[in-house]
Chains A and B, each alone.
Chain A
Amino acid sequence: MSEATTTKPGGLADPAARKALMAGVSSEPGSAKPDPILKVDTIVRSFGGMTAVNVDHLEVQRGIITSLIGPNGAGKTTFFNLITGFDKPSSAGKGGAAWSFDGRRLNKTSAASVARAGMVRTFQLTKALSRMTVMDNMLLGSQDQRGENLLIAPFRPLWAAKEREIIAKAESLLERFKLLEKRNDYAGSLSGGQRKLLEMARALMSDPKMIMLDEPMAGVNPALTQSLLGHIQSLRDEGTTVLFVEHDMHVVRHISDWVVVMAEGSVVAEGPADTVMSNPAVVDAYLGAHHDTDLGDDALLNEEVADQLAEEVAAEEADREQTESAKKEGTS
């Protein structure tokens, strides 16, 4: 069911295909991609005297996982806000500021229209709607509900069918994110990690073309991190473009097909994970004086090790699923 609705043509499930696709792309900041879904030009945002974002040019490749990394205060969240219409570029950069998503210019577009265009985001500080149930949270994520029209709303038969349909979809997503038993609980009663999951699941209700995740793994326990990573990868495999912000270099190295590094508002480097992490500019940006700190350089994961890791993750998943379904049977 979920496969049928979320798979898009052109899913890049094959790692080799992705590698081949990005092989020709130069590791320069702002390099051109073969099939960019998001293009950004000269976007500037300053707060008072401080320039939080100043990006000359950036392209995000369709169908792969791109990580956006950078030290605290690098401007990642602000960049997200700008792209998704939650913030406006400063007047200083207005002259040339332009960004387009899937061929559509988004400069003056409201946050809501950006989301409707297929680019949905989550927030660094989760925004679960506390005094609504998990299910209601999910249902809000769905697009094109006739019942959301004021004039149609009072007449239940006009929207009851759609309601049943999206409830089914929400259930399948909640199942995937291990939140199904919580569906009638208030979102405010969820743990921090569960809220992150809920927010991601809610964002997926609209079948976005591209999902932008702001630190989805922060505050999530390691076991859950693994399954979250699995979800993100399967999203990619079904054809959704993923742009996500992450501080944990192991994670970045593990799942990203492409890495973009921001520092002090600008893009200072991009490229495949290994290349980027050995880039002196990145090390500089991150560490300043502390050049000797570990940058997630664990045994320089080669293909084999990575695959093994992925398998382990999958096995763990299956295990958990089994125990959980067993638990469910036990209770019911």
Chain B
Amino acid sequence: MDTIIGILEAMLRTAVNPATAGVVIAVIGLNIHFGFTGLLNMGQAGFMLLGAYGFAISLDQGLPFPVAILVGLLAAVLFAVLLGAPTLKLRGDYLAIVTISAAEIIRYVGRLSNLSEYTGGSQGLRGARYQEPFINLSFLSEDGRWTLPPEGLYSWLPSSMWAGETGGRILGLVVLVAAVAGAIFLIKGQRNRQKELKPGSDLPFAQRLRTGLAVSGLIFVAVIAVFYILPLTLDQTKSNGWWVRLVAWSMVGISLLVAMLLVRSPWGRLLRGIREDEDAVRSLGKNVFALKMQALIIGGAFAAIGGMVYVLPSTVQPDNMGRSMTFFIYTALLLGGAATILGPLLGTLIFYPGRILIREVADAYIPDSIMSSSQTDQFSFIVVGVVLMLLVIFRPQGILGNKRELRFNV
């Protein structure tokens, strides 16, 4: 039992990790590239790395916090323009080849020892050199620690039902399942009502607001229930505590919202048109090149923000954002469902804890003589690769995607 709880806790820690949040944002960006526009960007990790470097080096050199964010964003935008200009007029493979190469080169440059004064070379830029301004922004206590959920929330219950106790865990599980089911029910109902209307017209604003609030409330309850099953204690602020998690996941929320507004607009419709057949869109008088460039830039900017979030609690280590990272981002996106709004979130939240699950289970239950502990780690990555293959072959729409759409796969 303790092993299982231990594994679940490791998964939860991974799931709420700011690095995971950073990857979610990068996946949202790739969804705009690949899911909606059909751009084969194979260098999403390069965009992340560039954003992270721009941000961290600026802070290290003493620039103000907002300027550092801008520098990171600008670096990614320039990168997008540079890579897009020669390739976006050509067949998709060219973009793939150029982006995967360029991302590698960013990594090589980051590792150069001549630049190690700025980048930290192959050791990476240590967090201590840039985290200060961000930590100072925190409104949480400087040294304190917090446990989620706070004890006040459940101390009226009998002590066998406290957070982390067996009874409490069962209770939390029931609440979790109920909240998730409720949210799905509400969303489905809203969709059906929307479908009955004429396209283009909307349900009344008040009704949409009501559903939105109810769903948000249920999701909040679900998150609390998760922590109720597995209480988590962390620093309030410090470099890797609740503060950075709060900011990281708020950024995820904002990114999801912005992405949703963008892809549900006529602009998003254009992107989908380009994905289907760019010549057709061109024949309708749309500047396809400019639109693809916009998509590349926007998705790259998401990745840059993801990169900044990714390095906030740790270091800017170029090898962490290499080719494998791009591949993980693709796996997460396809797992959740490309061209869906929530797919990136869901996919990443299954991908990272899922890998931990595989590794820990292999570690706990397969004897060392068969699989050493470094091999279990590699084993989990082999599984990731195979899952990516099987996913594309057998369920290309992912978890949230629309099966019906796929029948007309061109």
Q: Which residues of A contact B (CB under 8 A)?
A: 84, 86, 110-116, 120-123, 127-133, 135-137, 139-141, 143, 145, 147-150, 153-156, 159, 163-164, 167, 183-184, 186-189, 199, 202-203, 205-206
Q: B410 to A110, Cβ gap below 8 A?
A: no
Please give, as numbers and ranges, the residues of chain A lying within 8 Å of B404 by CB-CB distance. Answer: 186
Which of B200, B283, B294, B409 lies in contact with A163, CB distance below 8 A?
Answer: B200
Which of B198, B199, B268, B410 lies in contact with A153, CB distance below 8 A?
Answer: B268
Give the shortest distance, in Å, between B209 (CB) and chain A (any CB). 14
Given contacts A129-B276, A131-B276, A167-B200, contact A139 B283 (CB under 8 A): no
Please give, as numbers and ranges, the residues of chain A lying within 8 Å of B157 by CB-CB distance. Answer: none
Q: A149 to B272, Cβ gap below 8 A?
A: no
Residue of B nearest to A186 (CB): B408
CB of B358 closer than 8 Å to a CB of A: no
Residue among B199, B275, B283, B408 with the highest chain A CB neighbour number at 10 A: B283
A120 to B198 alpha-carbon distance, docked (Å): 29
Q: A84 to B200, Cβ gap below 8 A?
A: no
Instruction: Find residues 217-264 in chain B having any chain A CB closer than 8 Å to their own CB.
Output: 258, 261-262
CB of B188 closer than 8 Å to a CB of A: no
- Can you name 9 A-B pairs with beta carbons within 8 Å? A110-B282, A112-B288, A115-B282, A116-B285, A129-B276, A129-B281, A131-B405, A148-B286, A203-B284
Residue of A nearest to B269 (CB): A136
Please give, as numbers and ranges, the residues of chain B lying within 8 Å of A133 by CB-CB distance. Answer: 199
Residue among B258, B266, B404, B410 with the highest chain A CB neighbour number at 10 A: B266
Please give, as numbers and ranges, the residues of chain B lying within 8 Å of A184 by CB-CB distance. Answer: 199
Which of B199, B265, B270, B285 lies in contact with A167, CB distance below 8 A?
Answer: B199
Q: B405 to A139, Cβ gap below 8 A?
A: no
Give the shortest distance, in Å, between A87 (CB) and chain B (any CB). 11
Please give, as numbers and ranges, the residues of chain A lying within 8 Å of B128 by CB-CB distance. Answer: none
Q: B261 to A150, Cβ gap below 8 A?
A: no
Q: A150 to B283, Cβ gap below 8 A?
A: no
Residue among B265, B276, B406 with the highest chain A CB neighbour number at 10 A: B265
Q: B272 to A84, Cβ gap below 8 A?
A: no
Residue of B nearest to A154 (CB): B261
Residue among B262, B287, B288 with the highest chain A CB neighbour number at 10 A: B287
Q: B408 to A150, Cβ gap below 8 A?
A: no
Please give, as numbers and ranges, the residues of chain A lying within 8 Å of B142 by CB-CB distance. Answer: none
Residue among A110, A121, A131, A149 with the highest chain B CB neighbour number at 10 A: A131
Give the shortest distance, in Å, between B41 (CB) and chain A (any CB). 18
Given contacts A186-B404, A188-B408, contact A132 B276 (CB under 8 A): yes
Give the shortest distance, in Å, between B211 (CB) and chain A (any CB). 17
Please give, as numbers and ranges, the residues of chain A lying within 8 Å of B294 by CB-CB distance. Answer: 150
Q: B408 to A145, Cβ gap below 8 A?
A: no
Give the shortest distance, in Å, between A136 (CB) and chain B (any CB). 6
Please give, as numbers and ranges, the residues of chain B lying within 8 Å of A148 by CB-CB distance. Answer: 266-267, 269-270, 286
Please give, as numbers and ranges, the residues of chain A lying within 8 Å of B284 by CB-CB distance. Answer: 115, 120, 140-141, 202-203, 205-206
Please give, as numbers and ranges, the residues of chain A lying within 8 Å of B261 by CB-CB distance. Answer: 153-156
A257 to B398 alpha-carbon distance, docked (Å): 54
A155 to B294 alpha-carbon distance, docked (Å): 17
A62 to B37 alpha-carbon distance, docked (Å): 38
Instruction: Find residues 391-410 in chain B having any chain A CB closer than 8 Å to their own CB.
Output: 404-410
Tier of interface size on chain B: 35 or more
* 9 nearest A-B residue pairs (beta carbon): A188-B408, A115-B285, A147-B266, A127-B280, A153-B265, A129-B276, A153-B267, A130-B408, A154-B261
Q: A120 to B273, Cβ gap below 8 A?
A: no
Q: A86 to B282, Cβ gap below 8 A?
A: yes
Give the shortest distance, in Å, between A180 (CB) and chain B (any CB). 12
CB of B279 closer than 8 Å to a CB of A: yes
A128 to B283 alpha-carbon distance, docked (Å): 12
Q: A127 to B283, Cβ gap below 8 A?
A: yes
Q: A112 to B286, Cβ gap below 8 A?
A: yes
Which of B272, B285, B298 lies in contact with A132, CB distance below 8 A?
Answer: B272
A86 to B273 alpha-carbon distance, docked (Å): 17
CB of B207 closer than 8 Å to a CB of A: no
Residue of B nearest to A212 (CB): B283
Please give, as numbers and ranges, the residues of chain B lying within 8 Å of A111 by CB-CB distance. Answer: 279, 282-283
The 0/1 profile, CB within 8 Å of A marked 1, for residues 10-21 of chain B is 000000000000
A102 to B85 alpha-carbon distance, docked (Å): 32
Q: A147 to B283, Cβ gap below 8 A?
A: no
Given contacts A120-B285, A136-B272, A140-B270, contact A188 B265 (CB under 8 A): no
Q: B265 to A127, Cβ gap below 8 A?
A: no
Q: A164 to B201, Cβ gap below 8 A?
A: yes
Q: B408 to A120, Cβ gap below 8 A?
A: no
CB of B132 closer than 8 Å to a CB of A: no
Q: B269 to A140, Cβ gap below 8 A?
A: yes
A150 to B290 alpha-carbon distance, docked (Å): 11
Q: B265 to A112, Cβ gap below 8 A?
A: no
Please give, as numbers and ranges, the residues of chain A lying within 8 Å of B406 by CB-CB distance. Answer: 131
Q: A143 to B200, Cβ gap below 8 A?
A: no
Give the shortest distance, in Å, between B277 (CB) and chain A (any CB). 5
Q: B277 to A127, Cβ gap below 8 A?
A: yes
Instruction: Find residues 360-410 in chain B having any chain A CB closer than 8 Å to their own CB.
Output: 404-410
Residue of A nearest to B263 (CB): A153
A112 to B405 alpha-carbon distance, docked (Å): 28
Q: A147 to B265, Cβ gap below 8 A?
A: yes
Residue of B nearest to A113 (CB): B285
Q: B266 to A159, Cβ gap below 8 A?
A: yes
Please give, as numbers and ranges, the residues of chain A lying within 8 Å of B405 by CB-CB distance. Answer: 131, 186
Residue among B262, B275, B286, B288 with the highest chain A CB neighbour number at 10 A: B286
Given contacts A131-B405, A186-B404, contact A153 B266 (CB under 8 A): yes
Give the shortest distance, in Å, between A202 (CB) and chain B (any CB). 7
Q: B408 to A189, Cβ gap below 8 A?
A: yes
Give the shortest distance, in Å, between B254 (CB) and chain A (any CB). 12
> Other CB < 8 Å A-B pairs besides A122-B283, A131-B406, A153-B267, 17 of them?
A84-B283, A111-B283, A115-B283, A123-B283, A127-B280, A127-B283, A131-B276, A131-B405, A136-B273, A140-B286, A147-B267, A153-B265, A154-B265, A155-B261, A156-B261, A184-B199, A188-B407
Please give, as numbers and ranges, the residues of chain A lying within 8 Å of B281 by CB-CB distance. Answer: 129, 140
Given contacts A112-B288, A115-B285, contact A129 B262 (CB under 8 A): no
A115 to B265 alpha-carbon distance, docked (Å): 22
Q: A156 to B408, Cβ gap below 8 A?
A: no
Q: B282 to A112, Cβ gap below 8 A?
A: yes
